[in-house]
Structure 1
């Protein structure tokens, strides 16, 4: 039993081992078969690889006869047949593609377009022909490269191929210029190796805006100009909601800016690191701004999309567009004479399209007064390359600084600006306040005159010849500060923050934008005195807060280098983000911006970016200030608006006003508190300086100084104005002339007073003391006015006492000065020195002289008559310092009225 069981187990083990041997045999057989098949397939693939690499036509016959490749030969023959069938259609398809994407001059032979004027405006060909190539017997096909809005070009030359590179670029530029309408494309040429002859065949176009040639030593200027253009264009497109100039052009359906092609002939020379960095920055944003760069042998690669052209010899090249295996046959150069002739015809077409040189009338709109100033003021002031250059005054550029030396065209620019603004905005939208500090009459023609009765309806104030009247500039700033406060209060009431919102919330209000032009404004700060301090503070406040309330400053000067008042106080200049620099102007633009140095005559550099170089816009300013040019526009505006607007206030510092012509004199009537008009106030409003002669102590007037003409004027004006306020016989004038040479003028005044029906008594110096006693002791039923000329001359006589008398005539005169005003007796006296006035008043102080007008008297002598305050006054011809203790905080300058000599 035991042996039977053991034998059975052994049989089972042998059976299992046999089965395992059988399975292992099957596996090894399958593996050997798979290996043989894999080795055969590998041999076949290696043979196929050799055939494909060599080409079926050049393969080893032994390989082709290999039995394993029977099916491969059939497959390869089929693929080869399909390939050659497909390849045969490629040249034709390429020809059709170029014809579709590069129509007209972009791909046609030069004979079809050379010298013809293009008409393309919006749709730009994406490809431009440079040559042709051939791949088989089907014939050549054109080779074109992308350019405008698509790509930059980088050209690399081989030895002795400079002429071929120039011919390539020249033909390419001519194709572009001949495809687009005149003025749509502008070419900028720079060559480090050529002083003047950069593509000389194109030079006929350099007299237009189509081609600009740059000095090889001024590469930095060209890069700054391009960077500024890219920044400006980017800002414009982004503000309009577009990512590029092309998308904005397609959305608007019109061209807003020209395309630009900038050609750099580098000759492989090194650039500075900063120049290379700037070029790459420009290239990165240039295509979006409509700028295409063409670089020949530059030491760097452009940023952004770039197409590369590598010249192999004078006739052949390879491009990144076609790949290194396609040899490009460059188009033959166009003969120089034909290029020059074509350039001339294109230049003539551009000049004809632009209408030749632009005039002042080209700045004006088709219809006058159609714009609103709610958001900003915008007006062209000149032209660059045929297109208008605008000045924008608003929240972004609230104030302007204009600089230019004498003869640079600053006044002409101001006229162009004012005319362009006035033509676009009606007087209800724009109010002008014009002030000229230099000795001239730049703005005088804008007010009515003897030759021309018209005026500029937008002007509210015109000040000329005010170089010695700094107080008038201060008065203008005070007026603007008051207007600023008024507008701020209205904005607060309506809960708004700017002028546009105020006008929406208060449509019935009168809120025009105010533009104050101050020419030679540095005169405001010519002295270290109160005028300078107050003007500085006011100007800074208006500059900071004026933008929100629609009050704008335009400050013009020949040279701002000497304005010490603003060192350490840059608030005004920082707010003047609009800078206009005339040729050779200094320190108007940023320190590193030298654009004004190279600006030609009759041009201006307009910069809305605080003078930084990238904001430069060069503008040719047409003649706006010659005779009959601006006046013709002014007359049209006058005829259109004069019935609804008052004539402007004209302040001419070179002419003294006439008493009878001022509104204050015409408004005087009998009754009420009498006022003695003394001179014209230096103020924005046409007002007079006057002393109120009411019944209160001290209501007397003293005229101080030896300037006889001005003293007589003040006395004469006081007498005439007082006489106008009384009915006949209501007032008695007591007149005493103690200066012989003044007798004719005094006699004339006496006759005038008598002719008006007033009582007049002439007093002699011997009876003056007795008459003073009588005035003190005797009451009167009428007002009495003492007009005393040269009081200091009679003081010795008045001081003398007669025997037996306790008081002298001088004592009686002092009593009249002290008590007279309360009894309706007022004195208007002329003293030729402050010391003699002090002697006249005695120890009683100065209270009995409530008002005084000083002529050729130093300010230090007047402090005792001005409540002890320091008086800043340096005498000047035709001016007086007036102080009335009842109304003035400090003295004010006035202009005595003009009076005829007798």
Structure 2
């Protein structure tokens, strides 16, 4: 085996002639280093060595294949830097671990040297320091924050995970999937299990040729390593390759550990290298957009560039291996930015005919307003099919139902062609891949009600079957713990989510033993394609968004796909108005009341035809009930219906009902209502109908539809409503109801047990139609008054304000 002096000479030759002379003269000294008496020729040689070392020290330190590990002590107080093969040329071990100050200095020196002498992204550093709980690495914290030091294990389990990372590095290098290098730094192991030491030894045997260098402190038997033995007052170097001043394989001259560096130098150098690594690893948002937009083929999957790590660009996929993603991160941890990076990257890479986006945001935020037209910017992403901003749970449920129905349709087509995969389907039909993103999805599954139960069942079906039909889920949340509806289904659903993406503060996306998310900083993300298993992490840095680039891309895509309409958008926080309805939504004899919380967001109303019971009761004290009744009257009046209006509240806007009934004449007029008339009554609970008037009302309810007479009435008191219609005997005489702020426990006796879970909330109503196919009613956003006044009219105050006046 070649001597240490030969390796040093070969390495030094690449630096300069002085360094080469250093190795050549060192070889001459050999065992005569400490002859007594001292030979004058030897002293002259030592002086030449010292001069050569001083001249070439900087060049030697700049070589990634050499490491300065201390000083060789010569005569007359002279010292020569001790340089050993390192990196791709050799491992290094010590007989004591980093609890000795000199070894701790060696650890920091080796890491700074290895990182500083390689191009950014060319080296990964993984540490083990169980005896000092990571103290050896503490001065290098900037490198950990920058992701250069990927992990520092401080307990036995984490140490095993760190070794697994190095083993994975070797396997990936052999497979040709990695070209970077890893430095495994074992600063201390305490009392390691024998199996772990054997794994480290195996890494040392195969690592040099396959991308792993080991610095093993406290591992004097490390294979293929130069070993520094701590003796009393000095250090000896043993093991091949042999030393320049050596007797056999032992360095004859005394050696000192590296001097303790100035802490400010270590901190400054670590910060400098960290900033260099960040700059090299950070993409700009514009870098995520491919040079040839919409050039991707979705048949085998979707691919998107999200950032860089130490090994280069990081690209993620939606395919059979990683069909669904689970994304976690605390508030302010960059989750929204990351999702925008992914979605804009996908939209730029694939055409709208190849990619369809369904976007749901269940929290108070504007995550997905970058995909839809707004008052300030009418551009949009044509790939977006449906977008929910502050989505209702029911809207999310409607989206999941739509996706499940789409899978059923695709299944039918695939059976027709005899194919079993989405790639096979694409050979016959140009179906797009679907990506559904649900931010803060745990809101959808909150509680244990009908919505949560149905949503879990739909999610399970999509998770199990989606990959075959080109349907992919991205579920994002701060946490997935404590979701009651998932207790029985958590494993069956999330077992289909091998792709785990953890941003700072993520607690439950990765496995409990994997704390990688606690070691990253803002702008970084942990990517794990093994279901969150420790040891399978990749830490990447992703860019911040750029509003100008996003706007430009929306405009470019809009011009390229001018025939694609804007997505349907559900704004969970925004009121809706009758004036916003489309002409096709207004039909004769149809009283419009609001907009249905569904994927299509259709206008919701009731048909006033001649079937028995075709009347409408608006129930509840919420003032929006009066406004919804005004919208119903306006929609009917606009289609030629004759309307008689009576207002017991004094607050109704009757501009669309020119024919009026005085409140005190209402009871008497019930028996004289002409055929083909709609009666609109506000505040019928205040009419105080006596028994005779109630009987006249009940007769009208029973016989009116057959002659075209219909009642639209607002009762603010539910008990008064049931009394007026005759209780259970009159239940079928009013087939339609718009239920406002009345809880399910109060109304289920009249409408049925299926309404026991109705939970009223502001801005929502339950539309019940006994003649409709759905027995559970429909959630609607009732129409409210528009703040914009009509022609020649003043702006009207909201109902709640006018009531207080």
| Maintained 8 Å contact 2:326/2:475 | yes
**CA 463–166 in structure 1, closer or farther in 2 if over 3 Å, else same:** closer
Task: Tell whether 2:746 aligns with 1:821.
Answer: no
Match of 1:619 among 540, 554, 559: 540
Query: TM-score by structure 1 length?
Result: 0.71
* Aligned pair partner of 2:433 in 513, 516, 539: 513
**Structure 1 residues 221, 315: closer, same or farther in 2, change over 3 A?**
closer
Encode CA deviations 1:132-173: one digit per residue, 9 max, x unaligned. x9xxxxxxxxx9988666865545589xx996x899999988
The answer to whether the Cα contact below 8 Å between 1:148 and 1:290 also exists between their aligned partners in 2 is: no
Aligned position for 1:697:
612
Cα deviations across residues 705-736 of structure 1 (Å, max 9, x unaligned)?
222x322222122222223334xxxx321222
The verdict on how the C-alpha distance between 1:414 and 1:205 changes in structure 2, with shifts beyond 3 A counting, is closer
1:786 to 671, 679, 682: 679
Other-structure match for 1:422:
347
CA distance in 2, matches of 1:855, 1:830: 11
What is the correspondence of 1:155-234 to structure 2 with a 5 Å cutoff?
155-156=94-95, 181-188=119-126, 206=143, 212=149, 217=154, 220-221=157-158, 223-228=160-165, 230-231=167-168, 234=171
Alpha-carbon distance change, 644 to 340 in structure 1, aligned in 2, over 3 angstroms: farther
1:186-242 superposed Cα distances (whole Å, 9 cap, x missing partner): 455656777889699x979958979649768457545424413533763xx4xxxxx
> Structure 1 pair 218/391, CA: closer, same or farther in 2 (3 Å)?
farther
> In 1, Cα distance between the equivalents of 2:262 and 2:402?
66
Q: Give the Cα–Cα distance (whole angstroms) in 2 for the partners of residues 875 and 204 of structure 1.
A: 52
For residues 673-701 of structure 1, the C-alpha deviation after alignment (integer angstroms, 9 at most, x for no partner) is x3221111001112121212222212221
Q: CA deviation at 1:365?
A: 3.4
For 2:329 and 2:765, the matched residues in 1 are separated by: 34
Distance in 1, Cα, partners of 2:271 & 2:667: 93
Larger radius of gyration: 1
Q: 1:83-482 residue pairs with structure 2 within 5 A?
A: 104=14, 114=58, 152-156=91-95, 181-188=119-126, 206=143, 212=149, 217=154, 220-221=157-158, 223-228=160-165, 230-231=167-168, 234=171, 237=172, 245=173, 248=176, 256-266=178-188, 270-273=191-194, 275-276=196-197, 279-280=200-201, 286=207, 290-298=211-219, 301-302=221-222, 306-307=224-225, 309=227, 317-321=237-241, 325=248, 355=279, 358-361=282-285, 363-367=287-291, 368-385=293-310, 387-466=312-391, 469-482=392-405
Unpaired runs of at least 5, structure 2: 23-52, 73-81, 787-795, 798-805
Q: 1:646 aligns with which of 565, 568, 571?
A: 565
8 Å contact from structure 1 (residues 457, 637) kept in 2: no
Matches within 5 A, 1:4-23: none
1:619 Cα deviation (Å)?
A: 2.8
Q: Distance in 2 between matches of 1:574 and 1:197?
A: 37
Q: Which residue, out of 569, 586, 591, partners 1:668?
A: 586
* Preserved contact between residue 128 and residue 187 of structure 2 (Cα < 8 Å): yes
CA distance in 2, matches of 1:718, 1:129: 86
Equivalent of residue 853 in structure 1, options 735, 738, 756: 738
2:608, 2:615 within 8 Å by CA — same for their partners in 1? Answer: yes
Equivalent residue for 1:711?
625
Which residue of structure 2 lines up, in the alignment, with residue 27 of structure 1? none
Compute the displacement of 1:581 (Å): 2.4
CA distance in 2, matches of 1:773, 1:376: 69
**Which residue of the other structure, out of 655, 658, 666, is the alignment partner of 1:768?**
666
- Structure 1 segment 597-608 matched on structure 2, within 5 A: 597-608=518-529
Match of 2:503 among 573, 582, 593: 582
Q: Does 1:561 align with 2:481?
A: yes
SS in 1 for 2:762: coil
Shift of 1:881: 0.8
- Cα 1:792–1:498 change in 2 (3 A) is same
C-alpha distance in 2 between matches for 1:774 and 1:211:
87
Aligned to 1:596: 517
Between the two proteins, the alignment pairs up a number of residues equal to: 734
TM-score between both structures, scaled by the size of structure 2: 0.78
Equivalents in 1 of 2:569, 2:662: separation in Å? 43
Identify the match of residue 890 of structure 1 among 776, 786, 801: 776
* Alpha-carbon distance, 1:514 to partner: 1.6
Q: 1:724 maps to which residue?
A: 638
> Is the Cα–Cα contact under 8 Å of residues 93 and 225 in structure 2 kept in the other structure?
yes
Distance, in Å, in 2 between the alignment partners of 1:834 and 1:347 is: 70
How many angstroms apart in 2 are the aligned matches of 1:210 and 1:332? 34
Find the aligned partners of 1:859 and 1:341 in 2 and give their Cα distance: 69
Over residues 5-60 of structure 1, what are the superposed CA-to-partner deviations in whole Å (9 max), with x where a residue is unaligned? xxxxxxxxxxxxxxxxxxxxxxxxxxxxxxxxxxxxxxxxxxxxxxxxxxxxxxxx
Matched, 1:734 2:649: no
What are the superposed Cα offsets for residues 313-360 of structure 1, whole Å, 9 maximum, x if unpaired?
868644344698466678999999999999999997996697457254
Structure 1: tracts of 5 or more residues without a match: 1-89, 134-142, 238-244, 250-255, 752-760, 801-808
Question: Could you say which residue in structure 2 is the equivalent of 1:502?
Answer: 425
Which residue is 2:449 aligned to?
529
Q: For the Cα contact (< 8 Å) 2:153–2:162, is it kept in 1?
A: no
Superposed displacement of residue 113, structure 1: 8.6
- Structure 1's 676 and 534: CA in aligned 2 closer, same or farther, altered over 3 A? same
* 1:750 maps to 2:660: no
Q: Secondary structure at the match of 1:398?
A: coil
